[in-house]
Structure 1
């Protein structure tokens, strides 16, 4: 089932942030630009792992909090990411992105309602060697 992630961060997520997160999980993941620079595609030879869309500034934190089901602070940025399924590599890249940007993530399995995946910044240790690499 496709999965949608919304990453809440204090600053906008950049393509460099996405590339760094992907490289932490698997240095052989490929990167591509989406929509004239409006996003980043992360893929293996087998297909798409994750698409990360350009960040949006939160104009109304109360509205964003209601929509996401978690508190969203004023001055935050929202970044959407999409995975074609529940691949652990997609999850690992998002968790690395969250860890590196000081953010948190809300995960929605499409269709369905949002469910908080982490209510606080992730504190997982960085990936080592080839953890999360596909065979």
Structure 2
């Protein structure tokens, strides 16, 4: 089972943001590239998949993001124009991995200058 998250950011969430977000939590977290770079998977030292981040997609407007989320966007939004980058994440939802995965998501969003949003809050 996984928890669904989204990072909304003014820029593409790159590997540097992901690695810096993960390193703050645990410097021993490993990274695997999936589907020719369309996704990154973070695993703990025991090989447990903590989260899978999919390639960021550019949205034309905040209205598109609200439609996808099914609710108004959190405020404040990342700085920039109306267009946002949308990065989907599937994170471990079971204890004790859930807390680690959620912290990595939040740290990655901060490193990318964005906001982490749980999709569960929208009933997904």
TM-score w.r.t. the length of structure 1 is 0.75
Higher relative contact order (CA 8 A, sep 6+): 2
Q: Which residue of 2 aligns with 1:26?
A: 26
**Structure 2: 5+ residue stretches without partners:** none
Q: Which whole-Å CA distance do the structure 1 matches of 2:58 and 2:40 have between them?
A: 18
TM-superposition CA deviations, 1:68-90 (whole Å, max 9, x none): 22337612100011013141000
Residues 33-112 of structure 1: matches in 2 within 5 Å?
Answer: 33-44=33-44, 45-68=46-69, 69-71=71-73, 74-86=82-94, 87-109=98-120
Gaps of 5+ in 1: 115-135
Q: What's the Cα RMSD here?
A: 2.0
Distance (whole Å) between structure 1 residues aligned to residue 56 and residue 36 of structure 2: 14
* CA contact 2:21–2:105 (8 Å) conserved in 1: yes
- The answer on whether the counterparts of 2:61 and 2:84 sit within 8 Å (CA) in structure 1 is no
1:93-132 deviations in Å (ceiling 9; x for gaps):
01101111121122124xx725xxxxxxxxxxxxxxxxxx
Q: Distance in 1 between matches of 2:106 and 2:4?
A: 13
Task: Tell me the distance in 1 between the aligned counterparts of 2:83 and 2:58.
Answer: 7
Superposition deviation, residue 46 in structure 1: 4.2
Q: Which among 107, 113, 118 is matched to residue 123 of structure 2?
A: 113
User: What is the aligned residue count?
Assistant: 113
**What SS does the aligned partner of 2:119 have?**
strand
CA contact (8 A) 1:15 1:39 kept: no
